Amino acid sequence: MMVLEKRAAPSRWWSIGAPLLALGMAVVLGALLFAVLGHAPSRALYVYFVEPLTSAWSLEELAVKATPLMLIGAGLALAYRANVWNIGAEGQLIMGAIAGSAIPILLPGWNDALAMLAMLLLGAAGGAAYAAIPAWLKNRFNTNEILTSLMLVYVAGLFLDWLVRGPWRDPMGFNFPKSVAFDGWHVLPTLTGRVHLGFVLALLAVLILWVIVHHMRAGLAVRVQGIAPRAARFGGFSAPSITLGVMLFSGALAGLAGIGEVAGAIGHLQPSISPGYGFAAIIVAVLGRLSPIGVVFAAFLLALTYLGGEAAQLALNMPAKVAQAFQGLLLFLILAAEVLVHYRIRWRGRAHGAARARQGGGA
Amino acid sequence: MGETAAEQQPLLEVRGISRVFGTLLANDDVSLAVQAGEIHALLGENGAGKSTLVKIIYGALRPDAGEIRLEGKRVQLQSPAQARKAGIGMVFQHFSLFEPLSVAENIALALDGAHDMAALKQRIGEVSAQYGLPLDADAMVADLSVGERQRVEIVRCLLAEPRIIILDEPTSVLTPQEAQALFATLRQLAAEGRGIIYITHRLEEVRELCERATIMRHGRVVAEIAPADHSAREIARLMVGSEVHDVSAPPMAETGAPVLHVRDLTLPAPGPFAVALYEISLDVRAGEVVGIAGVAGNGQRELFAALSGERLAQNRGAVFIAGHDVSLKDINARRKLGAAFVPEERLGHACVGGMTLLENLLLTRHAVDASVVRRGMIDHAAARVATQRVIDEYDVRNAVPERLAAALSGGNLQKFIMGRALDRRPALLVVNQPTWGVDAGAAALIRQQLIDLARDGAGVLVISQDLDEIFEVADRIAVISRGELSAPRPAAELSREEVGLLMAGAHEARHGTVHAAQT
Amino acid sequence: MSGLEAFVLTVMAAATPLLLAATGELVVERAGVLNLGVEGMMAAGAVVAFAVALGTGSAALGALAGALAGVLVVLPFVFLTQVLAANQVASGLALALFGLGVAGLFGEGYVGQPGVRLEKLHVPALSDIPFIGPVLFGQDVLVYVSFVMTAAVGWFLFRTRWGLMLRAVGVNHHAAHALGHPVRLVRTLAILFGGAMAGLAGAYLSVSYTPQWVEDMTAGRGWIALALVVFATWRPVRVLAGAYLFGAVWIMGLHAQAAGYGLPPQLLSALPYLATIVALVVISRNRALTLANTPAMIGQPFVPER
């Protein structure tokens, strides 16, 4: 029988090895999945995982897709460290996009560098304010933030839908549900190809996460609260403040990702502005083991699943949902591999026999 | 192997039991025999392997080697259900009760066979009458006192009609009077021809109650004795393996002004399974140790939380530290006034097991020590120096600042936690269960530290379930019972029996005298 | 058909999937496990039920297959949480994402195809009684199943030995283990039951509610079912009441949309989600009530020491 034996301290080796093992298993299972779907596994794996890395264009696209994942993932990593399960980042992304878009849509004449800064700030503020709702409800009424933050995703999606079909629809847009196209300072400047300013902000967010977690009292508070709430109270850390703080932080970064998408990658507001980045970022945070550097790698990996999914759709005519199924599978495997960090796996019975033989003389 | 030609076949015989946990040899070739009608003590320090052994006998753990015989017949116990069928019953130390379920449901869970609650309730009534263990079968366990819960455990065990009964530290949660009542029940059970294994670390009880005792140390049996023939001191030496140092308490000098002053502190229960505090008043003066005795679950945690500031009072004028009204101030404000706190649970409350000692030092220093945290930024180098100093000066073994708290033994971690508090030269120390689950050597050291701190001019408040500990360290003693605190009295004027009566609630104003008359 | 009759019938239709899924999750949580993956299990149940109904022509067979799909898709969750003692919140989220993704992947070919509808019961004479007939005797089998299962769960939990054991495991798994109760076996069975019920709830959507397959057709019902269990303070009768309350909110939104009133349809579509938040606030603000009723072990992994 398989038994788990708690390690005295988490294994350093497996804290790096576990995500890699999960990735390896995901590739193997992915190959199986492709075979079931009727594709030659080697060809499909190449199209999915390798081809996107072979051209400059697709590498840039990888960075574009990694941008929101990194931003949101960094925020969620801090929230999850506090054991605050914000799973409504998708909604916060949408509200950030809406808040930031208010400037190009409502004040089209204000088109300078300051306007762009205001868009970014409004985006972060929109996401933060939306994330503050579940935090406030939790602190005030003890509601479960998982359920409330998720419910608000649906509400945000419907709100955006109403805006772009109603008051914010482009009057010259032939009745298409989209806003006016952003231009000038309303569009984030690009670094190379389609990679925009958001990418720099994402790296900055990861850096800030690192400083908070490893060098600030606030990071200590968050970690203690997440592992041992009673010890946090003993340390004089306030649980409601921590809950609100990490929700504001993760909401702001999700909002920033949202405005980055509409002002960077898309260029206008439309009913659907994210292929589930807010949910994929949950995987980014967990796969990155809630560490700053881990989030960077995981964001690129998840970006690759999106890009690979698109490539597989085009080249192999595979269903679009393959990316989402693969992401779910990946998360399962990470969680399974994660066990190796904290536990040693033993097979009782055999090992037992050895112990018995060793002890036998005493009887 | 030849059968020993014993004139009396032991009821239970355990031979050569060994069990490994990872690298720890928890039981190493342990043997033990219990006769019918015998109350057999199993003695040893925490971690000596007593719990592992009885879990194996009760089928909850499997041995790596060795055998168990019942009346000479070898048995394989794969599960507690099998053990119960074979006639082995157990009363657990940390009660294995389900708080939101009724007494009858709790008992049904430990019995095999048909699910007939009406018949079960009737049998509960019969058994509790027979052994003088009154119980309300429909009461929710969460509403019961600790003593009543133990009765549930014992009745539950008896309903399975066991021939062997194992009791794990049964009196650690009882008043001296309740313990006497339990002894009467146990003698009655033994007289019926049952065998009883009695685990404890209270040596006087063993001398009073048990015919024989098996003593364990580091997973091995080190002696089997007749306790009546030995002094408590000799038995202690066998348990610990070396001479136990006495704590020396020099006479108290003049006490100074109160460093802790509590006046009519009343707080509602913080949750459904907690205790409300009622009009608590108390002074702790510089230079003295005040002890608060009481049975577990009578408001000790709630009182500690209210004194430390983890929970604030409801109004001003309830808690004063060093002359300042801190009723509505949080724990760090109280620390800034020179107070230090040591809670009961080492892991998860006093320390975070998954964090390093350095981070655990920051846990209590971050707001009060500008050398380790300035403007929200942590100075790791300074924190490392402070952590190393605590490790060195307070004899924390096997430790470096980067070691995880969970990797330390209970005694060493408690030394670190005490050191972390003492290192700041506190003017007031409030400590809850200072030596709970700590080895004898560390316990003696910690008790000495408490006395020395007071004699150096600090006020010390010790909350403890261990009456011996209270009498060893305290200059004045108060008793907490159902959230009410008796007036502190000089330790020299009090006897154990008097304290026992107070623990049973003799002083309670709110609950009246009915309860006291019952017990 | 009167307006009231139509309203009651549509409320029942909207409430049934919530009732099925929430009843399953109630048992799971009573055993001390939090499975957040209801939405994913429902999606898997919905797509498999649709495909099997289409393939065999039998909607009933489809519904059974849907339940089976719920059981199959929850197996990784069982392995993660019961064998590997992984974090239940993260594992449940993984199940939600995985179930939705796999359902979308395998459902791609079925988008837009007309499905097979589960037949409604017809008892001669009885079903023709106005109002009472269609409401009581004219439903499809899953509606009756939802009632029977809720009653059966209530009986099981509070009247049987295994039900007592399950509650005990959810309240204190250390004590249950010490007494020799098979904690992980009980939990595994509870999770599988929850999977079957969620699969059935999904099947109801794709073979009865709207016999078709559309991506994301579960529309958050799995999450609402989770909220329902909290709202019902883990009691079967209250789950029943809650499911019908939410069904009514859902239908009122639809009716209001049809009637117009000049309100944006998106606002009315958002009603069930907003109502869920309100319900959570109403029940959670009473901390003593939730604390006393929450199975104490919920979300905590159990690792036996043997």
Q: Give pLDDT, residue A360.
A: 36
From chain B, the residues in CB contact with A5 under 8 A are 22
DSSP state at residue C82 = I
Q: How far is B107 from chain C (nearest CA, A)?
A: 11
- Is the per-residue pLDDT at A1 higher than 70? no
Residue A103 near residue A114 (C-beta atoms within 8 A): no
- pLDDT category at B330 given cuts 50, 70, 90 is very high
Beta-carbon separation of A359 and B407 below 8 A: no
Q: Are B455 and B250 in contact (CB under 8 A)?
A: yes
Structural domain harbouring B498: 258-518
Q: For position B96, what pLDDT does the model report?
A: 82
C-alpha torsion angle, residues A18, A21, A26, A31 (rounded to 10) = 180
A266: helix, coil or strand? helix
Domain ranges of chain A: 61-317
Residue C272 identity (one-letter amino acid): P
B366 SS3 class: coil
Residue C179: what pLDDT?
86
The domain C3-293: what is its CATH number? 1.10.3470
Q: Does A148 touch chain C (CB under 8 A)?
A: yes
Q: Are B409 and B438 in contact (CB under 8 A)?
A: no
Q: What is the mean pLDDT of residues B419-446?
A: 91
Residue B170 confidence class, pLDDT cut points 50, 70, 90: confident
Most confident of A30-44, A113-127, B469-483: A113-127
Residue of B nearest to C168 (CA): B98
C121/B493 Cα distance (integer angstroms): 84
pLDDT of residue C305: 67
Indicate which of A217, A238, A290 best probes the interface with B, i.e. most B CBs within 10 Å of its own CB: A217
Confidence of residue B404 (pLDDT cuts 50, 70, 90): very high
Give C292 to chain B, closest Cα distance, Å.
Answer: 6
CB contact under 8 A, A363 and B29: yes
CB A6 within 8 A of CB A343: yes
> A87 to chain C: nearest residue by CA?
C93
Interchain contact, C175 vs B95, CB within 8 Å: yes
Which residues have a Cβ under 8 Å from the Cβ of A96 and sit 6 or more positions away?
Answer: A123, A124, A126, A127, A130, A251, A252, A254, A255, A256, A257, A258, A259
CA-to-CA dists, residue A241 to A93, A213, A221, A246, angstroms: 22, 16, 10, 9
Q: Which among B332, B378, B406 is the nearest to A236, CB-wise?
A: B332
Three-state SS sequence of C104-141: HHHHHHHCCCCCCCCCECCCCCHHHCCCHHHHHHCCEH
pLDDT band at B394 (very low <50, low <70, confident <90, very high): very high
Distance from CA of B60 to the nearest CA of C (A): 6
C90 to A331: CB separation less than 8 angstroms, yes or no: yes
CA B437, B442, B448, B449 dihedral sign is negative
Residue of B nearest to C178 (CA): B60
* All partners of chain B with 3 or more CB pairs under 8 angstroms: A, C
Rounded to whole angstroms, how far apart are CA atoms A211 and A206? 9
Q: What is the pLDDT of residue B243?
A: 67
B80 touches chain C (CB under 8 A): yes
Is the distance from CB of A23 to CB of A337 less than 8 angstroms? no
Residue B94: name the closest of B133, B55, B120, B143 by CA.
B55
Q: Measuring CA to CA, which residue among A141, B203, B133 is closest to residue C284? A: A141
**Cβ–Cβ gap A4/C84 under 8 Å:** yes
pLDDT given at position B1: 39
- DSSP lists the bridge partners of residue C296 as none
Give the minimum alpha-carbon distance from C16 to chain A in angstroms, rounded to a whole number: 20
User: Residues B362, B387: contact at Cβ < 8 Å?
Assistant: no
Residues B171, B172, B173, CA angle at the centre, nearest 5°?
90
Mean pLDDT over residues B447-459, rounded?
Answer: 94
All residue ranges of chain C with pLDDT < 50 are none
CB contacts of B356 in chain A (<8 Å) are: none
List of chain C residues whose C-beta atoms are within 8 Å of the C-beta of residue A323? 101
**Residue C182 Cα, gap to closest chain B Cα (Å):** 10
What is the model's pLDDT at position A354? 41
Q: Which phi and psi (to 5°) does residue A352 adopt?
A: -60, -45
Q: Which residues of A touch B (CB under 8 A)?
A: 5, 8-10, 215-218, 220, 223-224, 227-228, 230-231, 233-236, 344, 352, 355-356, 359-360, 362-363
B9 to chain C, any CB pair closer than 8 A? The answer is no
Same domain, B234 and B267: no
Instruction: Kindly list the residues from chain B whose CB atom is less than 8 angstroms away from the CB atom of residue C29.
Output: none
In a domain, B1, yes or no: no
* Closest to B302 (Cα-Cα) out of B332, B337, B262: B262
Give the largest CA-CA distance in chain C: 65
Give the model's pLDDT for residue C1.
56
Q: Which one of A8, A10, A231 has the shortest CB-CB distance to B348?
A: A231
Each residue's pLDDT tens digit, A247-292: 999 999 999 999 999 999 899 999 999 999 999 999 999 999 999 9
What pLDDT sits at residue A62?
95
Touching chains, C (3+ CB pairs < 8 A): A, B
Q: Do residues B361 and B236 share a domain?
A: no
Record: contact C101-A327, CB cut-off 8 A: yes
- Assess whether B234 and B125 both reside in one domain: yes
**What does the pLDDT look like over B255-294, one tens digit per residue?**
788 999 999 999 999 877 788 999 999 999 999 999 999 8
Query: What ipTM was assigned to the predicted interfaces of this complex?
Result: 0.91
CA dihedral C226, C232, C234, C236 (to 10 degrees): -100
In CATH, what number is assigned to the domain containing residue B497?
Answer: 3.40.50.300
| Interface mutation vs chain A, best among C47, C102, C274, most A CBs within 10 Å | C102
pLDDT for B512 equals 47
| Residues B309, B334 contacting (CB under 8 angstroms) | yes
Whole-angstrom CA distances from A227 to A216, A231, A233, B311 are 17, 9, 12, 20
Q: What is the pLDDT, as a whole number, of residue C33?
A: 97
Per-window interface: A 11-30 vs C, CB < 8 A? none
d(CA B494, CA B499) in angstroms, rounded, equals: 7
CATH 3.40.50 assigned to A61-317: no
Encoded amino acid at C256, one letter: A
Asked if C291 and B272 come within 8 Å (Cβ–Cβ), the reply is yes
Name the minimum distance, in Å, from the CA of B198 to any CA of chain C: 18
Distance of CA C237 to the CA centre of its chain: 15
Question: What are the pLDDT digits (tens) for B97-121?
Answer: 999 999 999 999 988 777 788 999 9
Quickly list DSSP for A279-340. HHHHHHHHHTTT-HHHHHHHHHHHHHHHHHHHHHHHHH---TTHHHHHHHHHHHHHHHHHHH
Q: How far is C135 from chain A (nearest CA, A)?
A: 31
pLDDT score for A361: 34
C-beta separation of C193 from C27 below 8 A: yes
Question: Which amino acid does the sequence have at B320?
Answer: F
Q: From the CA of C19, how many Å to the nearest CA of chain B?
A: 26
CA distance, residue A184 to nearest chain C CA (Å): 32
pLDDT number for residue B202: 77
CB pairs under 8 A between B and C: 62
Do B229 and B266 lie in one domain? The reply is: no
pLDDT single digits (tens) B29-68? 999 999 999 999 998 887 788 888 999 999 988 899 999 9
> CA distances (Å), C169 to each of A180, B184, C306, in order?
58, 34, 17
- DSSP class of residue A37 equals T
Query: Which tens digit of pLDDT belongs to each residue from A306-325?
Result: 999 888 888 888 777 888 88
DSSP B241: S
Q: Report the distance separating Cα C97 and Cα B313, nearest Å.
A: 46
Angstrom distance (rounded) from CA C270 to CA C253: 8
**Both B447 and B339 in a single domain?**
yes
Taking a C-beta distance cutoff of 8 angstroms, is the pair B338, B426 a contact? yes
Residue B323 sits at the vertex; the CA angle it makes with B318 and B327, to the nearest 5 degrees, is 30
How many Å apart are CA A194 and CA C149, to the nearest integer?
55
Give the residue from B199, B214, B240 where a domain finishes. Answer: B240
C93 vs A282: CB contact, 8 Å cut-off? yes
Q: For chain B, how long is the longest CA-to-CA vector?
A: 78
> Which stretches of chain C sit within 8 Å of chain B by CB?
160-161, 164-165, 167-168, 171-172, 174-181, 288, 291-292, 296, 305-306
B384 assigned to some structural domain: yes
Same domain, B236 and B262: no
Nearest CA in chain C to B110: C179
Band of pLDDT at residue B420, cut at 50, 70 and 90: very high
CB contact under 8 A, A144 and C280: yes
Is the same domain home to B325 and B440?
A: yes
pLDDT in the model for residue B511: 62
Q: Would an 8 Å CB–CB cutoff place B193 in contact with chain A?
A: no
Residue B416, both tokens: 């670190």
Contact predicate B272/C291, CB 8 Å: yes
Q: Are residues B311 and B422 in the same domain?
A: yes
Q: Measure the CA–CA gap between A70 and A204, rounded to whole angstroms.
A: 10
Chains contacting chain A through 3 or more C-beta pairs under 8 A: B, C
Provide the residue count of chain A: 363
Domain range annotation of chain C: 3-293
pLDDT at C7: 87
From B203, B202, B196, select the one nearest B230 (Cα to Cα). Answer: B203
What's the CA gap between B210 and C281, in Å, rounded? 57
B3 found inside a domain: no
Residue B225 and residue B276 in one domain: no
**Is the pLDDT score of A188 beyond 90?**
yes
> In the beta sheet, which residues pair with residue B262?
B282, B319
| Sign, Cα dihedral of C13, C18, C21, C26 | negative
- How buried is B324 (Cβ within 10 angstroms: 0-12 exposed, 13-18 middle, 19+ buried)? middle
Nearest-angstrom CA–CA distance, B106 and B97? 6
Contact C271, C61 (CB under 8 A): no
Could you give the CA distance from residue C45 to residue C54 in angstroms, rounded to a whole number? 14
Residues B235, B262, single domain; the answer is no
Beta-carbon contacts of residue C198 (< 8 Å; ≥ 6 apart): C20, C21, C24, C25, C38, C41, C42, C45, C70, C74, C222, C225
Q: Estimate to the nearest angstrom the gap between the alpha carbon of A34 and the chain centroid.
A: 25
The answer to whether residue B506 is domain-embedded is yes
Do B210 and B126 lie in one domain? The reply is: yes
Type of residue found at C80: L
**Cβ neighbours of A331 in C, within 8 Å:** 90, 93-94, 97-98
Residues B308, B378: one domain?
A: yes
- Chain B residues touching A231 at Cβ < 8 A: 348-352, 363
Predicted local distance difference test score (pLDDT) of residue A356:
41
Residues of A in contact with C100 (CB under 8 A): 324, 328
Determine contact: B81 vs chain C, CB below 8 A: yes
User: Phi/psi at B212 (nearest 5 deg)?
Assistant: -135, 160
- pTM, two decimals, is 0.90
